Structure 1
Amino acid sequence: MRDLILIIDDDAKLRKMIGDYLAGYDYGVRELADGTDVAEQVGRLRPAVVILDVMMPGRDGFEVLSDIRRVSKVPVIMLTAKGDPSDRVVGLEMGADDYLPKPFNLRELLARIRAALRRYEPKSARQDVLEAGGVLLDLSRQVMRVESSEYDLGTAEFNVLSSLMRHPDVPLSRDTLLDMGWGVETIVSDRTVDVHVSRLRALLRNHAGHEDRIKTVWGTGYKFVGKSA
């Protein structure tokens, strides 16, 4: 089942922009223009994350947050156009999980949503090891194991490999790998992905049958071949 993101903001254009972007990453989206009956809506929809604007006509985001917290511990990311740090303090003290000032980068919002989902994922649902095509990736140690050999991976190589292994045999674009691995657009470029894929391939070439484990998909990016040789 897709994670549902509930967007509460009086700005219809902003709601649509966020909703369209998140839908492109396979999230379900519901929109509310204000906080009317928000407790009932949260109880009915059971969203995975709530994106809540602070400055809304009528009942502001702080009042709406208070209503949400009476019925749910769902992660709440608050949006604000105000630059006063005291607003952030108030929101966090009232139970908000994160704060993002407007204007913001949609990739940063996506990264914060993913971080919130990771923090609130039940421990029993977490996966500590990925396995595909005879390659094991220890997520807690950032170690790749092939046959009897173990390789300590740098954070960048780990980000790329874990993203590919979570979607075996599915071509992923460089932009998608950047989103999954780094989340926000900083100085990381498409070329960064190529460099780290090359390093991973160099390690895999040490083992017969794994030389082509990470394939280039021309015009798209890369995919991890999940079938054992």
Structure 2
Amino acid sequence: MKLTFLGAAREVTGSCTLVETGGHRFLVDCGMEQGRDVYENAGLPCAPGEIEALLLTHAHIDHSGRIPYLYKNGFRGPVYTTDATADLCEIMLEDSAHIQEQEAEWKNRKAQRSGRDPVEPDYTVQDAVSVMTQFRPCRYEEKIEIFPGVTVVFTDVGHLLGSASITLRVTENGETQTIVFSGDIGNRNQPLIRDPHDLIRADYVVMESTYGDR
């Protein structure tokens, strides 16, 4: 098994991890980098169409915002996430695309006056609408086999509606390992949101650097 960190390494936005195991390739999150670009996020080491699936911790744009970009460039695999995250992404990704289309239109008006080449948005509203057909809503604590020998469980971590840590169990060459991707972890005693559910066992933990000192 191999993990490649493509985003949110040395900074906290644009979360995206490539997992390769058993001849399969899939992503955990595919977020948009936000704020000042201190460290440029790495690009995919393969064509988006070669990504077979995506696991999404929650709907915030720094975790989900480039999913329509994957679709635009050939990704057609399932997107596994919780029911509430799928519902929120339907709103948020379309809104993100609308903002990008508006910004591209504004930049192109300026480019036309100055003789510069036009720009395109990373993705369009139609891309955001189309990729939603690939979402596969899951229940908390439901064990889902995404490939032979690869199972995933979403656990409520109280960050926002639908947010989850992802527990990945991978059996390869007769050995089983458990990897937890923390996602964003919420606070306790918040209105509307349940307290984070504590996980007690993993062989490896991939934790958001926002929470690395807690």
- TM-score (normalizing by structure 1): 0.28
Larger RCO (CA under 8 A, 6+ residues apart): 2
Q: Higher strand share goes to which structure?
A: 2
- TM-score (normalizing by structure 2): 0.29
Structure possessing the higher radius of gyration over alpha carbons: 1
